[in-house]
Amino acid sequence: MIDHAVSVLAGRTDILVFTGAGISTESGIPDFRGPKGIWKRVDPADYTYDRYVSDPDFRVNTWGRRFSSPLLDAAPNDAHYAVTRLWETGRVVGCVTQNIDGLHAAAGLDLSSIVELHGNAHHIHCIACGDEPQFDEVAQRWASGTADPQCLRCGGILKTKVVYFGEELPPQAISRAWDMAERADAVIVIGSTLSVYPAAFIPLAVIESGNPMVIINQGPTDHDFRAAAIVNGAAGSVVPELVGRLTPGLTQH
Ligand code: NAD
């Protein structure tokens, strides 16, 4: 299967990389819909912006989960580093991620090449005045007993810059992602069921311009029937192998 993916991508010079939660499970962060996914334990309907704003108890639980999340100590895995290596060859137009873990940047991918469609769990802002306190400062207040830390400037509600259900995606992220999709001559999807919208429209736009999509995922996605090649396997093994085959001569991480 990898052979076919390599031949599909051979000669492509403007590849869009589109990643989902599956690229980070090998870094210890559970995905949503995989076999051990978060949605097996909690109800997605609870994770709405309205609930966050209107329910102080929900916010207390949310901060508790945030500051004890495996996401805080997670490190990039071989798949993240392989994406960076491919980008270093100049054949990547950008990396659009649905992930909120910041692991592409931690793996050395340049910030100008990363679009975080659903935000970043390490960034906090006040939904009233827009102030952006440091994550560590808010974590410190939480650890000292403030279960629902408020904005020190205006007293407003603080929230991580993670997009909840019912919340708009950051407009600048959407427009940068569309721009990358328009310029791409192929897309590699890594670790996503391609079931969350509008995010999934980004790789689909690349196909609609007549370019191929390669999917690397454990298990099915909603758009397998549109893929030019599918590699069913663990991203931490498959992505480094694929990148190694596309870029012979480069040193492996
Ligand atoms: P998803 O949970 O719908 O799909 C993940 C897919 O990856 C599943 O098919 C799963 O079987 C597969 N997978 C799991 N581990 C894999 C591995 N090691 N190698 C290859 N495939 C693997 O995730 P999604 O499509 O990204 O969409 C869900 C939402 O999840 C996004 O909105 C994202 O914001 C959010 N999310 C992000 C994180 C994170 O930041 N790491 C974690 C959980 C959820």
> Tens of pLDDT along 96-147?
999 999 999 999 999 999 999 999 999 999 999 999 999 999 999 999 999 9
In DSSP terms, 96 is beta-bridged to: 18, 115
Q: Provide the token pair at 149.
A: 């830390």
Residue with tokens 């390599």, as numbered in its chain:
6
Top mutation candidate among 23, 32, 123 for ligand 1, by most atoms within 8 Å of CB:
32
pTM as predicted: 0.93
- DSSP letters spanning the chain: -HHHHHHHHTT--SEEEEE-GGGSGGGT---SSSTT-GGGTS-GGG-BHHHHHH-HHHHHHHHHHHHT-GGGT----HHHHHHHHHHHTT-EEEEEE---S-HHHHTT--GGGEEETTEEEEEEEETTT-----HHHHHHHHHTT-SS-B-TTT--BEEEEEPPBTSPPPHHHHHHHHHHHHH-SEEEEES--S-STTTTHHHHHHHHTT--EEEE-SS--TTGGG-SEEE-S-HHHHHHHHHHHHSTTPPP-
Q: Which of 118, 122, 125, 223 is catalytic?
A: 118
What's the mean pLDDT when you consider all of the chain? Answer: 93
Tell me what pLDDT residue 31 has.
84
In DSSP terms, 103 is beta-bridged to: none
Q: How far apart are CA 246 and CA 85, in angstroms?
A: 11
Tell me what pLDDT residue 177 has.
98
CA of 248 to the centre of ligand 1 (A): 29
What confidence tier does 36 reach under pLDDT thresholds 50, 70, 90? low
Is 219 a pocket residue for ligand 1 (Cβ < 6 Å)?
Answer: yes
> Which numbered atom of ligand 1 lies nearest the CA of 162?
34
Sheet order of strands, 186-190 included: 114-116, 92-97, 15-19, 186-190, 213-216, 229-231
Contact 187, 214 (CB under 8 A): yes
Tell me what pLDDT residue 165 has.
85
pLDDT, tens only, 207-239: 999 999 999 999 999 999 999 999 999 999 999
Contact 188, 231 (CB under 8 A): no
pLDDT, tens only, 144-172: 999 999 999 999 999 999 999 888 999 99
Contact 113, 86 (CB under 8 A): no
Is 99 a pocket residue for ligand 1 (Cβ < 6 Å)?
Answer: yes
Hey, whose CA ends up nearest to atom 26 of ligand 1?
Answer: 20
CA of 234 to the centre of ligand 1 (A): 12
pLDDT of 253 > 50? The answer is no
What confidence tier does 252 reach under pLDDT thresholds 50, 70, 90? very low
pLDDT of 250 > 70? The answer is no
pLDDT, tens only, 169-199: 999 999 999 999 999 999 999 999 999 999 9
Tell me what pLDDT residue 247 has.
87
Is 192 a pocket residue for ligand 1 (Cβ < 6 Å)?
Answer: yes
Please indicate whether residue 213 or residue 71 has the higher confidence score (pLDDT): 213
Is 84 a pocket residue for ligand 1 (Cβ < 6 Å)?
Answer: no
Q: How far apart are CA 94 and CA 16, in angstroms?
A: 5
> Which numbered atom of ligand 1 lies nearest the CA of 39?
2
CA of 27 to the centre of ligand 1 (A): 12
**Catalytic residue status for 118:** yes
> Which numbered atom of ligand 1 lies nearest the CA of 191?
7
CA of 38 to the centre of ligand 1 (A): 10
Is 52 a pocket residue for ligand 1 (Cβ < 6 Å)?
Answer: no
